[in-house]
Chains A and B, each alone.
Chain A
Amino acid sequence: MNGGNGIAIDVKGLTKSFGGREVVHDLSMQVKRGSIYGFLGPNGSGKTTTIRILCGLLTPDSGEGTCLGYDIRRDAEKIKRQVGYMTQRFSLYQDLSVRENLEFVARLYGLADARGAARDMIKRLGLSGREEQLAGELSGGWKQRLALGACTLPSPKLLLLDEPTAGVDPKARRDFWNEIHALAADGLTVLVSTHYMDEAERCHEIAYIAYGHLLAHGTVEEVIAKSALTTYTVTGEDLNGLPGALTGKPGVDMVAPFGTSLHVSGRDVAALEASIAPWREKSTLHWQKSAPSLEDVFIELMSRSTDNFQ
């Protein structure tokens, strides 16, 4: 039933177009069971579409694969029983209370004791005392918690979370990630899309997707290593004029301010160093060669993909 090889998601060559525009292009990926897989990419890069294909909400134009060992084209109904999908927009019933929403989900999945299951989940979510509150009246963080509770209620084997932490405060975000790690420790596979770099670094593996193309994947270290990017961190008093002066110079692929410092990166080390040489002399500036951050890598990937696909 599950392919037995420890792979939860195994898809090849997924392609999907809307109105002649290719949203997902020839996407292949593998997600190990029990792992947390981060899905990164700019807005409109095809993350949501890919997730919807995986849970049977969209049929791919071409490509094939399995999700929990079930064929994504033929067995959508079986996949739905074992997958919890948390949509980007809050999609529980706003005019139903916390308890009623959970009982609805429990009944739909055929849980023998829907009321009991809902009661347990309310306790687990820390929503005791709010069970009769309407879902629409909860704060953003509680809504997101409730949504996660609703999709884990039927004990799924795979969770698909589409930007679950968008618009949620840092404390709630941290609690949320602790919970996801706990669920993964119990053997649940989690695929989560996000914009946040710190969240990407909390994933076992990540994939970067832009304009429908999968550009990089692997562990965070692998992705950084594969980028072959050289980064200099510049600190000093007079940084304001520097980005304008450096941008466009040979070998300088990216200049990005990070707080009081500036990251200058390029793939061609020799050209980069030649270009920055005049400014390295300056006593007011301090140059240090450093490993690129994940964000550097992604911004570089993004600017490169813009050149290629737009």
Chain B
Amino acid sequence: MSAVDHPTPLHEIRERFGFLRRSYAMLIKEFIQLRRDRVSFAMIVMLPVMQLLLFGYAINTTPHRLPSAVLLQEDSDLARSILKALENTAYFRFLYEVHDVDDFDNLLKSGKVLFGVEIPRGFERAVRRGDRPALLVAADATDPVAASSAIGSLGMVVQTALKHDLYIGDPPEMPFEIRAHARYNPAAASSLNIVPGLVGTILTMTMLIFTALSVTREVERGTMESLLSMPIKPVEVMFGKIIPYVLVGFVQAFLIISIGVFLFGVPVLGNLFLLALLSTLFITTNLSIGYTISTLVQNQLQAMQMSMMFFLPSILLSGFMFPFAGMPAWAQFVGEALPLTHYLRIVRAIMLKGATMQNLRFDALALAALMLIAMTIAVTRFRRTLD
């Protein structure tokens, strides 16, 4: 059992491909550690699935039984029939019946109802005459997603309902006009935008945190001292720590996009391979930035805080929450420096518009540039000594 009897057989040391060997040693080590950290490992799958389901359903599901009011200026059979039809769609639930415009406006303004249907005086007569009168539907669009799906359904639903109405028969076209007013927020956002956007947001958050903790964790556990005393170079440490998570990120991206396609029906019009390629680039860029953070901070708490400092502008200024074109110039300038901005353009363009590499050249280059900048900072900032 002691070294006295069995001196070490000298193992041959290879000098060739030292860079690859050492990076590989680091990579294997990181993989094992990741696999052994069951909570982190579970989070790799749970985090994107949970976020996507929560966000996706909250945003995508067409809301039902929205509180509504009706401004009835004429008590006709046709009016009753239309209200019944609207209620039958299950989108609307009529809580108030008012006869005064001011009451109607107040209900909407106070938020007691999200929808108001106004049936004007002489509506039935105008319909019978074929005048195509207007049926006004006012929506509180401060919550654009809630409003837009209901508005979208209006025309069809009412027409279908009226087809069977004895008074009208089966007219070739809409006997009256539905005039929808999206109040407070005329431009309702499309919910298709959200799922592709979530791919980028979720990846930013998880990738950033994975690597942001990697160097500080070694310092705090005391393993850095022994690692630094071994012949490994900063670039090798970096690659060894980033590459395992590229795979992790790839799995996450695959999960999110699959859920998006199969559960939320988001199309992928463009090339799936191009999407995978550019997603990998985006993942690596985020990992590099996370790694850079970990070389700048002293402990894991600081690493988390700095990650959040990067994550917040990413969400707010990338075009995920607010339209990029609507931001002031300085905010757009900041946004251009964030990987998420470029990836959102890429992922939305590929999934929804079927864009090709030709269209996305600029954003792909920007991602690559950001990645190289982050890696350069990380390698130069990595402390090779304990000074």
Contacts and interface: CB of A to CB of B under 8 A. Distances in A.
A75 to B, nearest CB: 12
A117 B13 CA distance: 11
A182 interface: yes
Contact of B229 (A55, A94, A134, A175): A55
A120 to B, nearest CB: 6
Contacts of A121: 8
Interface residues of B, dominant DSSP? loop
Interface string A82-117: 010101011111111000100111111111111011
Contact of B29 (A85, A89, A96, A152): A96
Nearest to B10: A155
Contacts of A6: none
B13 A110 contact: yes
A173 to B, nearest CB: 13
B385 A109 contact: no
A89 B219 CA distance: 12
B29 to A, nearest CB: 5
Contacts of A76: 384-385
Interface stretch (A56-64, A216-224, A234-242, A281-289): A56-64
Contact of A52 (B36, B384, B386): B386
Interface in B274-324: none
A124 B3 contact: yes
B41 to A, nearest CB: 12
B232 A108 contact: yes
Nearest to A124: B6
Interface of B: 1-4, 6-15, 18, 21-22, 24-26, 28-29, 32-33, 36-37, 221-232, 384-387
A123 B1 CA distance: 7
B215 to A, nearest CB: 14
A106 to B, nearest CB: 7
Interface in A1-59: 52, 55-59
Contact of A59 (B14, B232, B387): B387
A186 interface: yes
Instruction: Say which size band chain A's interface belongs to.
Output: 35 or more
Contacts of A83: 229
A57 B229 contact: yes
Nearest to B7: A186
A76 B233 CA distance: 12
B8 to A, nearest CB: 6
A179 interface: yes
A206 to B, nearest CB: 23
Given A57-B385, A182-B4, 15 more contacts: A55-B229, A80-B230, A81-B231, A87-B222, A90-B222, A93-B33, A96-B32, A108-B22, A108-B230, A110-B18, A116-B11, A120-B8, A121-B8, A124-B6, A186-B7
20 contacts: A52-B386, A57-B229, A58-B385, A80-B230, A87-B229, A91-B221, A93-B221, A95-B37, A104-B29, A106-B11, A107-B24, A110-B21, A113-B12, A124-B1, A126-B1, A134-B36, A175-B2, A178-B4, A182-B3, A182-B4
A56 B385 contact: yes
Contacts of B223: 91-93
A77 interface: yes
A154 interface: yes
A183 interface: yes
Contact of B386 (A58, A112, A134): A58
B25 A108 contact: yes
A109 B386 contact: no
B239 to A, nearest CB: 13
A95 B32 CA distance: 8
A143 B297 CA distance: 30
Q: Which 4 residue pairs spanning A and B have beta carbons closest together?
A: A107-B25, A126-B1, A91-B226, A85-B229
Contacts of B12: 111-113
* Listed residue (A57, A80, A120) with the most chain B CB atoms within 10 angstroms of its CB: A57
Contacts of B7: 182, 186
A125 B4 CA distance: 11
Contacts of A155: 8, 10-11
A109 B230 contact: yes
A57 B22 contact: no
Interface string A141-163: 00000000000111100000000
A179 B221 CA distance: 28
B4 A179 contact: yes
A107 B17 CA distance: 12
Nearest to A18: B387
A92 B33 CA distance: 12
B386 A110 contact: no
* Listed residue (B2, B9, B15) with the most chain A CB atoms within 10 angstroms of its CB: B2
Nearest to B226: A91
A90 B3 CA distance: 21
* Listed residue (B3, B4, B7, B32) with the most chain A CB atoms within 10 angstroms of its CB: B3
A114 B29 CA distance: 13
A100 B29 contact: yes
Contacts of B385: 56-59, 76
Nearest to A52: B386
Contacts of B227: 91
Contacts of A89: 222, 225
Contacts of B386: 52, 57-58
Contacts of A116: 11
A105 B230 contact: yes
B3 A94 contact: no
B33 A95 contact: yes
Nearest to A111: B11
B176 to A, nearest CB: 70
Contacts of A111: 11-14
